[in-house]
Every structure is written in structure tokens, then in C-alpha cells.
Amino acid sequence: MQKLTFVAGLLVVLMVATTTAAPTYGLNFYRNSCPGAENIIRAAVIAKWNSDKTITAGLLRMFFHDCFVTGCDASLLILSTPGNQAEIEAGPNLTIHGQDLINTIKTNLEAACPGVVSCADIIALATRDVVLLAGGPQILFPTGRRDGVVSLASAVDVPGPTDTVTQAIAAFNSIGLNVNDLTTLLGAHTVGVAHCLFFSDRLYNFQGTGVADPTMAPALVAALKSVCPQGASGLGNPVALDQGTEFIVDTSYFQQLQLNHGILQIDQELTHDARTSGLVKSFAPQGRAGQFGPSPWGFSFARSMVKLGNVGVLTGTKGQIRKTCGAINT
């Protein structure tokens, strides 16, 4: 910068060197430290998505479950050790998948730029890329997250499929998100499945009544009973959460809710609660393939995903950059 000073009555302009601290969190964080990082991530995501469309739901769920517990620090990926049961072994996380892709990306990045790109950022950027591939909006995630060093199964407390809207709002409020974020982010159920175990009560004995949930369309109840027989053991068969366009990130989920085709209780309750029903209605309109038409959901989803991705972020010297995503550096 310039500094003004007087020498023997003369005004002299001196150029004073200044140093600016390197940013610790922001867009294109790796442009200098690992310029090819985002291309490496994108290439692996494209290859996986071309062979397995379920990876869209897998990564979205991984991102959500990681960020909701101690923030977006990839603690979900840490494996248990003899002295510690990690988050990945908690009940809600037993069906998490996509770790193979994240580990492949991490290996490729370590070969290109050792010790630079965090597992937390890999999850975020891989999720961004797969959402776009599946027809969803572009998400502008900042990067520079660092990885956590603690992972406890006992700390896992994420909203569940039988939560009421009130309970879900409270859970989202606890991490700084609001009712708009809740309704918007549940739109991620436009892809993915739920196993019979998590909604069979709605088919046979809703809240102890001995009959089906009256808010579920009778035709859907009949169809699901053929897939989820009463008294079946284990998780049961998988059922698409979006009965319209199972593998496309679009607003079909909200259209299905208005037809009373919600699979999970929390999904269907969005249409019957005054705090969320208006949002469901506004999100439902669908444009032509690959477009959101008059629906504001695409923009809202991208914005809420960034908000979620900012929860509990470790930056600077906090945390670490794990050498492998499944273990803390020794």
C-alpha cells in the first residue's frame, strides 16, 4: 500500500509491502494448492453415476448425516476402533453408502496433491456434482473445510422418518436452519428409497389405530402392502421415496406429496402442517425435463444446501487433513 511521509519538507510517497492472510474458506479454495482437485472429483463422480444412479441419494444422505452431527467434518467416514464406536455404526447410518466413491477420490487426490484436500470437502463437492448430473441445480459450495478428529456413535441424533413437523423444525433449528430449509432439504427425497421397516406402520397400524394412515392415498396403501407384507422381518424391501421420477432431482417429490403419495410420515405431514404446506404447494410446479419451471425449489435447494454445508465447519488450523478418510492421522 502507499504511505505518505515528509522528508526535509517534501511529501514523499513510499510503497510499503503488505501481506494478506490466505483465505481459509471460500469458493475455489484449492485453485493454487491443488488446481486439478475439482476436476479429479468430478471425473470420479461422473464415472460412478454412469454405472449407479443410486449414488445421488447415497451422497445426499451422507452429506446430510455428516453435517447434522458435529458439523460438516467427515466424521461420519471414520471407522470404529477397539476403543471407540464411530458414527458410521449408529442405527441411522447403517445403510449409508457411497464411501467407496469418496475413498477412491481421496486416493486419487493424495496421488496428485498429498495432504491438501479434506475428506469433508470431497463429500461436499461430490454431492454438488452428482446433484447437477441428476438434473438438479448448481450448488456453489465454499471449500476449505478440514476433517474432524472425533466420531462417536452416541452423538448421532438426526431427524427420523416418524418425526412430526414440530420435532423436525426443532432439530433443524438446533443447527441454525429454519422451516424453509427443512421443507426445501426434504426435497432431496426426490431420489432414494426407504425400506419397509420405516413406514410399514402407516400401512397396517398407524399410531396404534389398527388401520392405515388416512393421509396416504388408498391406492398407494394397496400397492405398498404387496411390497411390504405385514410382519416381515428385517429392513424389508426398498421403495422409491419419489413415486414419480425416482432418479431425477426435480420437483416431482412435492407433486407426489400433494397426491398423498408421501412414503415417510414426515414427508406427508409437510402437506398438512400450516407452517410447511404453502412451501410444498409453491415448490410443486415442474417445468420441462431438466428445468424447474415456475418452481423456486431449485434456487431454494441450492441455497439451503450451502447453509447446511456451512454448519460446524473446521477451518485454518482446526482439525486435520486426513490421509485416508476412514482413520484419524496418528
Residue type, 88: I
Q: What DSSP designation does 199 have?
A: T
Indicate which residues carry an active-site annotation. Answer: 65
Task: Measure the CA–CA gap between 57 and 101, rounded to whole angstroms.
Answer: 13
Let me know: does 311 contact 176? Beta carbons within 8 Å: yes
Bridge partners (DSSP) listed for residue 147: 320
